Structure formats: C-alpha cells, structure tokens
C-alpha cells in the first residue's frame, strides 16, 4: 500500500529531481517542497501504515514524522473550516491547493486499490468456479 501511495504522489506532484527519492516537490513548480511529503505521510496514516514504516520509506526521523503529521492535520482542519464556511475556492492559496492535491492522490489510490481488489476477487471466483 505504501508503494501505491508513493505512486500517487509521483503522479500528482512535480518532484525535485535531486530529492525525488524523498518525494519532495520541486519549489519551482509547487507551492512547497514539503506539501507532497505532508500529504504522503497523512495518506499513509489514514491507510493504517505504521509510523516506523513511513519513516523508513522516506528516511525520516521520528521528530520529522511528527512535524509532518501535525502539519497534515492542521491543513486538513483549515480545509474543513473553509468548506463549512463555503470559502474554500475563494482563495487559490496553499490550503486550496493542498485540498486539490489531496483529492487527486486519494482518488488515484482508491481507483488503483479497487482495481487490484476487483482483479483479486475475479481470480478467486474463477478458482471457486473451477473447483465446482
């Protein structure tokens, strides 16, 4: 699952060629070099991936992980507040772009995970049918 989440980041962010192994965005094209990492860490947490595995994957120290996950929750709170107020799209700022990027990555993960699960179910059904 962690590889699928990383693929979603690679497909929806322009990564810095020198730091793409850390999934860091290119400052020349994205708002922040850390937005991609923050969303990656948040999506991993939401999908039940252990902190240790996330840190190993990105080469983060636990304190760095804590700052990223705290930032993720902070941005998600801001997004929720702006959605409730109906003002999310009124300002095209960091919060708005984080929302857009998060949604793109989340849909990518959901679609790919559904396809894999569907294929797995299809294979099991065929196996069961062959045994009858």
Q: How far is CA 2 from the centre of its chain?
A: 9
What does the alpha-carbon distance between residue 127 and residue 6 come to, in Å, rounded to a whole number? 32
Give the pLDDT score at 46. 93
Torsion of CA 107, 45, 24, 106, to 10 degrees: 0
CA of 92: how far to CAs of 31, 46, 98, 116, in Å?
A: 11, 25, 10, 35
The pLDDT tens digits along the chain (132 residues) read 899 999 999 999 988 888 777 888 877 777 787 899 999 999 999 999 999 999 999 999 999 999 999 999 999 999 999 999 999 988 888 899 999 999 999 999 988 877 666 555 555 555 555 555
Which DSSP state fits 15?
B
What does the alpha-carbon distance between residue 66 and residue 52 come to, in Å, rounded to a whole number? 11
- Let me know if 11 is exposed, middle or buried by CB neighbors in 10 A (0-12, 13-18, 19+): exposed
Give the pLDDT score at 119. 59
How many folded domains does the chain comprise? Answer: 1
Give the pLDDT score at 82. 94
Give the pLDDT score at 39. 96
Give the pLDDT score at 123. 58
Q: Which two tokens stand for residue 75?
A: 């941005």
Give the pLDDT score at 126. 59
pTM: 0.81
Give the pLDDT score at 122. 52
Domain of residue 103 covers 2-131
């Amino acid at each position: 699952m962690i590889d699928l989440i990383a693929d979603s980041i690679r497909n929806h962010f322009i990564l810095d060629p020198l730091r793409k192994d850390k999934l860091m965005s290119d400052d020349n094209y994205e708002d922040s070099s850390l937005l991609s990492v923050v969303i990656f860490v948040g999506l991993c947490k939401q999908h039940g991936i252990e902190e240790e595995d996330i840190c190993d994957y990105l080469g983060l120290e636990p304190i760095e992980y804590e700052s990223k996950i705290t930032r993720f929750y902070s941005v998600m709170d801001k997004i929720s507040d702006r959605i409730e107020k109906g003002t999310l799209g009124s300002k095209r700022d960091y919060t708005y772009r984080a929302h857009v990027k998060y949604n793109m990555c989340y849909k990518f993960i959901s679609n790919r995970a559904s396809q894999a699960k569907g294929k797995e179910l299809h294979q099991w059904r065929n196996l069961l049918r062959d045994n009858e």
